[in-house]
Chain A
Amino acid sequence: MNQLTLSIIFYVFAALTVVSAAFVVFSKNVIYSAFALMFTFFGVAALYVFLSADFIAVTQVVVYVGGILVLLLFGVMFTNTIMQTDLKTDVLHVVPGTILLLLMIAGILYTFYTTGDWMPGEAQLQGSVVQRIGFETMSRYMLPFEMASIVLLVALIGAAFLARYDKVHNKDH
């Protein structure tokens, strides 16, 4: 695959990511936002492949699309009359919010582009990164890896405790 095809594919996925993220944010319907978020996650996963982090891309698809997005959809269905339209706050309206959004993009990009030339290192990541992730997890990142499992267990118990059906509280309903 030559350079031009690669960059065309990159731009397609970049456009998919950014446009669907904008749709998530500006859409008036929560369900539409949730489904647009799926495309954002897929686009970001494709960008991860461009960054030669194939394992992270697969994890992104499994965890975000298969887990978090389903969770968010369950949340939407539990808590909403599906076609609720009123999404804006009265704290900050859309027009000042959009101005702030543009200012923020401009500020971050200004910082990125003027901080200096980013010099790419001599040995960039190439090809698959799965084997190196395995080595790193079992050597240098052993403790964070084990702690992540404890955090997940605690979060699981905590979420189940918070969202359980409260018998005492709901007796009078």
Chain B
Amino acid sequence: MEMFTAIGLNHFLTISAILFSLGMFAVMTRKNAIVILMGVELILNAANINFLTFSKYNGGMEGVMFSLFVIVLAAAEAAVALAIVINIFKTFKTVDVSSVDTMKE
């Protein structure tokens, strides 16, 4: 009972493992480029949870600062990736990543 009521490090690690695996699943099996981007965001969030967990239980500030930078880079990544997806849509008339298989128009 103690294991379930006292929230410790392992609880957060478990959640981040599940989130990471779901993100990987989206990247591996989905066709739509935007759902793949959502999977990448899930993976980044899982990494952030891990950073903050170890930072909290270690007492240092490194994890907190790094998760801040991860959020900044995630925002930049989402903007550029969506621009690329929109370009792919203009060229191929689809965002289905398995039908985008040529390198020239």
Give the interface residue-count category, chain B.
Answer: 35 or more
Q: Decide if A37 touches B41 in the complex (CB within 8 Å).
A: yes
The closest CB in chain B to the CB of A152 belongs to B76
Contacts of A118 in B (CB 8 A): 9-10, 57
Q: Decide if A59 touches B80 in the complex (CB within 8 Å).
A: no
Interface contacts (Cβ under 8 Å), in number, total 246
The answer for the CA separation of A3 and B7 in the assembled complex, in Å, is 9
Given contacts A118-B10, A144-B69, contact A79 B25 (CB under 8 A): no
Q: Decide if A113 touches B10 in the complex (CB within 8 Å).
A: yes
Contacts of A68 in B (CB 8 A): 41, 74-75, 78
Q: Which B residues have a C-beta under 8 Å from some C-beta of A?
A: 4-15, 17-26, 28-35, 37-39, 41-42, 45, 48-49, 52-53, 55-61, 64-65, 67-69, 71-80, 82-87, 89-90, 95, 97-98
Pairs A–B under 8 Å by Cβ, sample size 30: A7-B7, A10-B11, A34-B34, A37-B42, A40-B19, A40-B42, A47-B15, A50-B7, A56-B68, A59-B68, A59-B71, A63-B74, A67-B78, A71-B78, A75-B37, A75-B82, A84-B32, A92-B29, A112-B17, A118-B57, A132-B64, A133-B65, A144-B65, A151-B72, A151-B76, A154-B76, A155-B76, A155-B77, A158-B83, A159-B79
